[in-house]
Structure 1
């Protein structure tokens, strides 16, 4: 009964929108020539963003191109898998596929990012055990091992599968039907809708998400605060050592002055009787 009511309500809404001159995306709007062009353009922009991030790293801590490729390729594989899954899933729902794709994408970039963070931290914790070092994200050994990179790629793709399953289950809640009724309502043109959900929104969100996820995946150098504290601790130890040496030198100097004053007094007391004896 509820399913029939929802389907009827959505159909009435779509007919009302079409009668007002506001078309919906077709089932193949995300996979036609224009849709694929936008997807390739988005992938190129995301790749350029990751290149720019490498050049923004401090020169002393900048990753080599090989390590950078190992770090970013994991995220690239996961992003491609999630994107293709979202395109396919969007066409399985009733209603506007552009709207369903946008909802899936936004959930992947928020709730999915949290799941990725938890998974990476868990793998780094497990990597402390002997024999599990290969699953430590960003650590490939010296020289870098392609086996460690492949292991981490497989693990990251598994994390993305967990993300997609979780988001898909979350999307089964009924209130999403109400969200789809108005989320893209102000956009009248179909191609503008496709560009909005496939390029404009994903570009800005992906730029932030890729930047943050790359920080999760790369091997962390010692933090600036930790280096400063260690330098301060070293300077403090040197200062204490210097003060200790100065104190010992001062004590030694005082002892020498006391000895010389005692000798002077001793010489003074001995010279008086000798002088008196000579005078007498």
Structure 2
């Protein structure tokens, strides 16, 4: 009996404790992750084409919805991780990965549904990414509420999904190679979420931002005009090259014997 207790205690010492996610080091990692995620969204704005780049106000309206939703989901995951039996880091990681995969699909479906309703019913306030001209704060608030509602649906769905028995087996091996609680916490709270969030935030921001169909038509027109210009340029160069060749040949003809000209011309063209 004592040997079993010692073994269990030794195993617990190698993994996160119950309050590991909410101690000083845990909150520091979470704050650092939030700053890195915010920086990623700023970088995405500067990657947008200069002509179609969102203003800072529109960018804030778009990203603030995602920021509020991410904070709500994160805090829910931290709280839920402490409600399960066993290592809270494993439960947090499982919740996080499900949010980033299954949750992203639910978000996509929800946003597309709202946009379709907006077009059918004329409810412009729920068309994600469109705030009117000039931008109306009421439209932003309505979309924030809708997005937070989607987050509630995501979290409830995943929490119910987590009730399946096989997750007990998953949590036993998901962080098995790591035997240092601090290293485990860094992986769970910073390294893995950073790379996953970078992709998820980028994709979700594309869902949330407004895409002007006129810009798409303008882009396709510009591309077609550019292709035509390239073709015309190639044709002009070819004609110019042919004319220069004819001039050179005619100049050479004057220097050669008239009887040899047809033979040489035939050799050059072949």
- TM category (shorter chain) comes to 0.7 to 0.9
Is 1:25 matched up with 2:16? yes
Deviation at 1:107, TM superposition (A): 0.2
Residue of 63, 80, 83 corresponding to 1:89: 80
Rg larger in structure? 1
1:188 corresponds to which residue?
Answer: 179
Matches of 1:133 and 1:44 in 2, distance apart? 32
2:125 corresponds to which residue?
Answer: 134
Unmatched tracts of structure 1, length 5 or more: 1-11, 236-280
TM-score (norm 2): 0.77
1:65-214 to 2 correspondence within 5 Å?
65-214=56-205
Matches of 1:142 and 1:194 in 2, distance apart? 46
Matches of 2:5 and 2:125 in 1, distance apart? 52
Deviation at 1:96, TM superposition (A): 0.3
Matches of 2:5 and 2:38 in 1, distance apart? 37
Deviation at 1:222, TM superposition (A): 3.6
Q: Runs of 4+ in structure 1 displaced over 3 angstroms? A: 12-22, 221-235
- Residues 8-47 of structure 1: CA deviation (Å, up to 9, x unaligned): xxxx999646546962211110000000000000000000
Deviation at 1:133, TM superposition (A): 1.1
Is 1:221 matched up with 2:212? yes
Query: Aligned Cα RMSD in Å?
Result: 2.4
- Given that residues 21 and 188 in structure 1 are in contact (C-alpha distance below 8 angstroms), is that contact kept between their aligned partners in structure 2? no
Residue of 28, 36, 53 corresponding to 2:27: 36
Matches of 1:41 and 1:129 in 2, distance apart? 42
2:41 corresponds to which residue?
Answer: 50
Determine helix, strand or coil for the equivalent of 1:181.
Answer: helix
TM-score (norm 1): 0.75
CA 1:228–1:87: 2 relative to 1, 3 Å: closer
Matches of 1:200 and 1:125 in 2, distance apart? 37
- Given that residues 61 and 221 in structure 1 are in contact (C-alpha distance below 8 angstroms), is that contact kept between their aligned partners in structure 2? no
Q: How many residues align?
A: 224
CA 1:130–1:177: 2 relative to 1, 3 Å: closer
Matches of 2:65 and 2:11 in 1, distance apart? 45
- Residues 108-164 of structure 1: CA deviation (Å, up to 9, x unaligned): 000000000000000000001345110000000000000000000000000000000
Between 121-130 and 226-235, the greater mean CA deviation after superposition? 226-235
